[in-house]
Amino acid sequence: MSLPKDFKWGFATASYQIEGSINEDGRGPTIWDTFCAIPGKIADGSSGVVACDSYKRTKEDIELLKSVGAKAYRFSIGWSRVIPLGGRNDPINQKGLDHYVKFVDDLIEAGIEPFITLLHWDLPDALEKRYGGYLNKDEFSADFENYARVMFKAIPKCKHWITFNEPWCSSILGYNTGYFAPGRTSDRSKSPVGDSAREPWIVGHSLLVAHGKAVKVYREEFKPTQGGEIGITLNGDATLPWDPEDPEDVEACNRKIEFAISWFADPIYFGEYPESMRKQLGDRLPKWTDEDRALVKGSNDFYGMNHYTANYIKHKKGVPPEDDFLGNLETLFYNKKGDCIGPETQSFWLRPHAQGFRDLLNWLSKRYGYPKIYVTENGTSLKGENDMSLEQILEDDFRVKYFHDYVHAMAKASAEDGVNVQGYMAWSLMDNFEWAEGYETRFGVTYVDYVNDQKRYPKKSAKSLKPLFDSLIRKE
């Protein structure tokens, strides 16, 4: 038994990926509604219009969670359901707010602990149009602070709050590659607007300051009476040197994590961006004012960790191009000897490598003083899953093995390495709208039949997690 007795495990989802009902009960449009409407942006031309229809099926979703033994559920609020235009002077939509209040009440009644993410990428479109969204630090952080306050006040029963999900994705995929909403990039074949060399770093800074403001509000106005905790969720991959004998490849492994994770974690834990980023990016990386640094430094009660995969890292020589966001290096699936890091999945970026999870848990713990960690996402797609028969899909042994290997790696990090990991949410409770990949990629432990009324069918992996955690969580 190698996980703490009060360890919380369950599943995770995000509002735009599962809710649907985008025009119901006063919800306003988000940047993803707008992005999905642009031809060619989503692999199968789809959107979150219906998704898993979860807005109308909260009861069904809770029954599903109960049936697989989940103790916790991480979900996100649709900001534009609560404040359709998003801003601090815009009206609150009571119907939208009431929906989430009732959902939390129902979860708690079912014995499931809510972990609420305030923003999982679906920014109200009105804020994008009004002042450029994340690009306007002062306006955005003030509006986010107001929205956070509305939610903290409305849902005092929630004891675990996450400000942002994966700010790296919002910044890099939204403003460098243009792969995600709002799709800004220097590549004029993809977008008429954007500056891949500068905008991502501005956006990352805005998100950090907005996070700091929301945390300050929670700690000063709500935590004394509600007694909860608040943090941010960051994503990053494990790294192994392409050539372990080459010190420059070894160094590049750290730099890759710094450019992905420490970009956000270093300001939160140390008050400054990593040296490697300052060196490469120079004046393109925003400077910290004393006021903003005071907001952000120390603003995590826990570290939210999203993790899926690993890469071999090979350093590059020479001056990196202005739009480089990796840290002047290559990410590869094969090393110098020709070893492959892990089997293929449906996702071009994802290959299972469970030892990397343990390694990264250790890397983060050592760097940030062994913080409390909640693994807020971890999971895998399966190659060709969407083309299989229902019988084949439900026998998802590949995903069962993934969870088995990764959860055991985490348990070893807890028991043998002193890592303070306190929770784990599998991604995802059900197949859903997988952003730019549309519905072609499935990450769920539950099959969703999009053609036949969004019917849900738990896969083998859904039923595998309870016995897995039962075998690892200490009884006393």
Average model confidence (pLDDT) for the chain?
Answer: 98
Nearest to 186 by CA among 167, 166, 172, 169: 172
Q: Are the C-beta atoms of 461 and 427 separated by less than 8 Å?
A: no
Q: What is the pLDDT of residues 147-176, one digit of tens each?
A: 999 999 999 999 999 999 999 999 999 999
Active site residue 245: no
187 sits in the region (left: phi over 0; alpha: psi -120 to 50; else beta) called beta
Mean pLDDT of 308-312: 98
What percentage of the chain reaches a pLDDT higher than 70? 100
Instruction: Determine if residue 177 is left, alpha or beta; phi over 0 gives left, psi from -120 to 50 gives alpha, anything else beta.
Output: alpha
Interatomic CA distance for residues 39 and 21, integer angstroms: 21
Tokens of 456: 């849900």
Could you say which of 19, 128, 139, 166 is catalytic? 166
Confidence of residue 300 (pLDDT cuts 50, 70, 90): very high
Q: Contact, 447 vs 394, CB < 8 A?
A: yes
Q: Are 85 and 95 in contact (CB under 8 A)?
A: no
pLDDT value, residue 476: 82
* Model confidence band, residue 242 (pLDDT cutoffs 50, 70, 90): very high
Average pLDDT for residues 331-358, to the nearest whole number? 98
Question: What is the mean predicted confidence (pLDDT) over 386-399?
Answer: 98
Place of tokens 């909640």: 374
Kindly report the CA angle at 82 between 78 and 88, in degrees rounded to 5? 115
Strands (E), 31-80: 72-76
Q: Is 322 designated active site?
A: no
The tens digit of pLDDT for each residue in 79-89 reads: 999 999 999 99
Q: Which tokens belong to 282?
A: 């120079």
Judge if pTM exceeds 0.95.
Answer: yes
User: Phi/psi of residue 143, each to 5°?
Assistant: -70, -40
pLDDT in the model for residue 199: 99
Contact criterion met (CB below 8 Å) for 176 and 199: yes
Please give the sequence-ordered ranges of beta strands (E in DSSP) within 172-326, or none if there are none: 229-235, 238-241, 303-306, 310-315
pLDDT of residue 26: 98
Q: Which residues of 368-399 are buried (b: 16+ CB within 10 A; e: fewer)?
A: beebebbbbbbbbbbeebeeeeeeebbebebb
Correct CATH for 8-237+348-470 of 2.40.50.100, 3.30.365.10, 3.20.20.80, 1.10.800.10: 3.20.20.80
Given the residues 145, 199, 258, 377, select the one marked as catalytic. Answer: 377
